[in-house]
Copies of this chain bind each other. A is one copy, B any other.
Amino acid sequence: MINRKNVQLGTVRSSIRELFEYGKQRKKEIGEENVFDFSIGNPSVPAPPEVNAAIKEIVDECDPVLLHGYTSAQGDYGTRKVLADYTNARFATALNAECFYLTCGAAASLTIILNALLNAGDEVITFAPFFPEYRIFIENAGGRLVAVKCEEDTFRIDFDRLESAITAHTKGVIVNSPNNPSGVVYTEEEIVRLTKLLEKYSKKYGNTIYLISDEPYRELVYDERVKVPYIMNYYRHSVVCYSYSKSLSLPGERIGYIAVNNEMPEFSEVYAAICGAGRALGFVCAPNLFQQLIKRVYNVTSDVSVYKRNRDRLYSALTRYGFKVVKPDGAFYMFVKSPEQSSVDFCERAKKYELLIVPGDDFGGEGYARISYCVAPDMIERALPAFKKLAESYR
């Protein structure tokens, strides 16, 4: 009688959440320090001190009626202007405040842009492995997710598979780089090849294919030589979905944005559809206090050096133990190959050593498991002997 699909969505826990709850229970049984929980992508680094300092300043300095009042649906103009200037300086774009639409975080950015673009039956391509909520967001917008498997063992884009997946119904492609769960960052060469392909097929089918760049992990890159290409520099019909959840360690505060490339001829229509979709979904505006915050700390990032040290420590140890892992260039995940066919069985076996890692199946990455290394460094040290034993159990 009520909406079955949403009952189902609210009842079935994701495997990540399931494991997280198991971990909480297990910690009670054998002690916090004896469970090695690598299940959740929750930043372990606090927000930089500038954040709380700015919150107090804002509360002291701003007129409370304005501070806590509605902004326009698009967001505070001053904040959007600052974001435009910052983006232009950093990526040599020519955006203006009117290109930005502030949102309640990355999930909101995605549901809004998908509802803005999609009509019933449209297809959206993404590269597997991928963040499982994409499927839910796309289906809720009336579309169908088409997962294109990445190259085995490298998780780079498989362009042959991509080409055969594009149809006359393809409305968009979501790229997520640095990637959750593989940690891969797409190179400029890959992005150029991807955009050429989208141009070719947009023309062939007479349907614009939009490129949606989901970038919550943009600032989480650990080597100087690794650059995350800015999608707008390569493709006119592109939209960037950004979130401060990871870069400022503010996942619970729900603040991010959509930026629309003003080089696309139908810019005004796309931006209007974003406003319409945000309205219909019930977003009204992004939390005003955090809009004001971003205006002040737009160029600050949490200390992500911990994640880099975690990555290096874990990667070198795991490979030493014999695990196959693609070294992640960014984000805070590592996708490890299962030594047995079923990654579900692999993760179950890991549990015996109190290691909580998530089967890749939900991510469209069968045969792999995701390790979230946004954790305390000492937990990694304590977990390494367990990983070693896990590896040895397969000899």
B273 touches A7 (CB 8 A): yes
Which of the candidate stretches A31-39, A246-254, A341-349 sits at the interface with the other chain?
A: A246-254
Other-chain contact of A287, B67, B276, B290 (Cβ < 8 Å)? B290
A119 CA to B2 CA, complexed, in Å: 7
Q: With an 8 A cutoff between CB atoms, is A110 at the interface?
A: yes
Residues 9 to 37 of chain A near chain B (Cβ within 8 Å): 9-11
A116 touches B46 (CB 8 A): no
Residues of B within 8 A of A281 (CB): 111, 140, 281-282
Residues of B within 8 A of A59 (CB): 52, 55-56
A275 touches B10 (CB 8 A): yes
A130 CA to B110 CA, complexed, in Å: 30
A236-258 to B contact mask, C-beta < 8 Å, 1/0 = 00000000000001111110000
A112 CA to B43 CA, complexed, in Å: 27
**A: number of interface residues (CB 8 Å):** 81
Q: With an 8 A cutoff between CB atoms, is A89 at the interface?
A: no
Residues 49 to 98 of chain A near chain B (Cβ within 8 Å): 51-52, 55-56, 59-60, 63-65, 67-71
Chain A positions within 8 Å of B, measured between CB atoms, are 1-11, 42-47, 51-52, 55-56, 59-60, 63-65, 67-71, 104-105, 107-112, 115-119, 133, 136-137, 139-140, 207-208, 249-254, 266, 269-291
Knowing that A6-B116, A10-B276, A10-B279 touch, tell me 4 more A-B residue pairs with CB under 8 angstroms: A51-B68, A55-B289, A70-B251, A105-B284
Report the 8 A-B pairs with minimum CB-CB distance, sorted nearest first: A9-B276, A252-B288, A10-B276, A111-B282, A10-B275, A6-B276, A10-B272, A107-B282
